Amino acid sequence: MAQRRGGSKGSQRERGGAAGSTGGGAIPAAGAKAPEFTAPAAGGRTVRLSDCRGRVVVLYFYPKDDTPGCTKEACGFRDDWAALRRAGAEVIGVSPDSPASHERFASKYDLPFVLVSDPEHRIAQAYGVWQAKSMYGRTYFGIARTTFVIDRDGRIARVFEKVKPEGHSRQVLEEVERLNREA
């Protein structure tokens, strides 16, 4: 699908990144090694997936800080945070927003987990979630709301595609608990 330029609101980056931007590859399947990344996060932190080895990681991709669906999803993870931590899970949210935007979002909603900044969409492309979308006849690239549960060995245990924010954190918690039972 061709990216439409001009005539719409928002910067080139908001409409799909650099000129000629394309989506990422395929979404890695369960059993595949999770693509490694290093990225800036809120609070001046640098997050490396490899630093989480030995723990279950909930890696969730969302389109934009402080929007209705993204807020509902983040607050679900916040509300289930204690149970996820007891189950040994690390939660990492990823969006194209800046670390400063993540700090405001996390502060506004008391989010206890790390939010990673991916403005160039490298992580999203590696995980296959930077995808062509269409709305009102306009085609653009954006984040497909997707969650990966990564096991202690760094392999993808489960992929949740086309996530509906309401109740999603509960589905993820059930998957983390299932992994613990099988360990």
pLDDT tens across 38-76, in order?
999 988 899 999 999 999 999 999 999 999 999 999 999
In a domain? residue 116? yes
In a domain? residue 21? no
Question: 98: helix, coil or strand?
Answer: coil
Range 104-114 burial, b when 16+ CB lie within 10 A, else e: ebbeeeebebb
Residue range of the domain that includes 36: 31-182
CATH at residue 113? 3.40.30.10
In a domain? residue 51? yes
pLDDT tens-digit series, residues 104-159: 999 999 999 999 999 999 999 999 999 988 889 988 899 999 999 999 999 999 99
Q: Report the domain count for the chain.
A: 1
Q: Single out the catalytic residue among 42, 47, 59, 70.
A: 70
In a domain? residue 26? no
CB neighbour class for 69 (10 Å; exposed up to 12, middle 13-18, buried from 19): middle
In a domain? residue 9? no
Tokens of 110: 């008391």
Mean of all residue pLDDT scores within the chain: 88
In a domain? residue 6? no
In a domain? residue 114? yes
Extended beta strands in 113-155, E state: 114-117, 130-135, 138-143, 146-150
Model pLDDT, residue 24: 64
In a domain? residue 8? no
- Helix, strand, coil distribution of the chain in percent, nearest 5: 35, 25, 40
Active site includes 75?
no
pTM for the full predicted model: 0.86
Which pLDDT band, with edges at 50, 70 and 90, does 16 fall under?
Answer: very low
In sequence order, the β-bridge partners of residue 95 are 117
